[in-house]
Amino acid sequence: MTPIIEAVPEEIYDIELEHSLLEANAKLARQNRALLDEHDITAVDVMGAIGSGKTTLITKLASIYQGKLAVAVFNGDATTANDTDGIAALGVPVVQIATVNGCHLDANLVGKALKRVDLEALDFIIIENIGNLICPAEFPLGSRSRMVVVSVTEGPYMVKKHPHMFLGADLVVINKIDLAEVMGVKVEQLVRDVHTLKPDLRVIPASCKTGAGLDEIAAVLAPKKAAAHA
């Protein structure tokens, strides 16, 4: 029988640690940000559920920026690489980041991806996070802004069900509005839900099919120096 040794109270110690569990990632995110700033590069972290249309939206944005801004795309994916062909076809450098079934990108992976592109030649990096509306919120990557993409095909309660993601967002895109009527989803209600959480959060209804909202998103996300050219 295994002997059980009970500690007497004098031998039990309590120690205060105040050790942040997110600090390791936050520190790497700050390093990424410093590296980006040093090269005058703006980065945006694109978050949204699987099927919200992140990749298609990013492809459209990359094509709007073509000839105006030097763009690279980091594509987070749990396993595959088949998302990025359309973007690569535009001549945009793409770095695939496989999280090996991890549910969010982290600053360490993005830091590695930053070593794979020519920072001297870039103005703008679009980081596509893993399709997930919960996890990425706690893991900043070092981007200047965070965009959340929700689509009407996810139903009328997406914001009500996943409020956390919106609290940390700088821009919300309500995607696939061409399907709103078919889906019986009221875009204005989704906008109201977002504004209940954060009244000054910019919300842009969009459709990659009709092109609605795309120029506005491109203008909001683009680095300041590009806006000055326009």
Partner 1 sequence: MHELSIAATIVESVLEFVEARQIGRVLRVRLAIGELTCVQPEQLKFCYESVTQETALKDSALEIESIPARVRCSSCAYEGAPKYWMESLADTPVATLQCPVCGKSTEAEQGHECAIKTIQYVS
- Cβ(141)–Cβ(106) below 8 Å: yes
Who's near 105: CB < 8 A, 6+ residues apart? 45, 74, 76, 97, 99, 127, 129, 130, 136, 139, 141
User: Which listed residue (1, 4, 12, 230) binds partner 1 by CB under 8 A?
Assistant: 12
DSSP state of 7: P
Which parts of 29-68 interact with partner 1 (CB under 8 A)? none
Q: Return the residues of window 105-124 that contact partner 1 according to CB under 8 A.
A: 106
Taking residues 133 to 162 in sequence order and writing x for each that binds partner 1 by CB under 8 A, - otherwise, the string is: -xx-xxx-----------------x--xx-
Task: Work out whether 164 is an interface residue with partner 1 (CB under 8 A).
Answer: yes
Q: How many residues are recorded in the chain?
A: 230
Establish if 163 lies at the interface with partner 1 (CB under 8 A).
yes
Binding residue for partner 1 (CB under 8 A) from 199, 224, 228, 230? 199
Q: How far apart are the C-alpha atoms of 159 and 110, rounded to whole Å?
A: 27
Does the protein bind partner 1 through residue 186 (CB under 8 A)?
no
Give min distance, CB of 212 to partner 1, in A. 26
Checking phi first, is residue 101 left (phi over 0); if not, alpha (psi -120 to 50) or beta? left
Stretch that binds partner 1, among 19-27, 36-44, 67-75, 220-228 (CB under 8 A): 19-27
> Side chain identity at 177, as an amino acid letter?
I
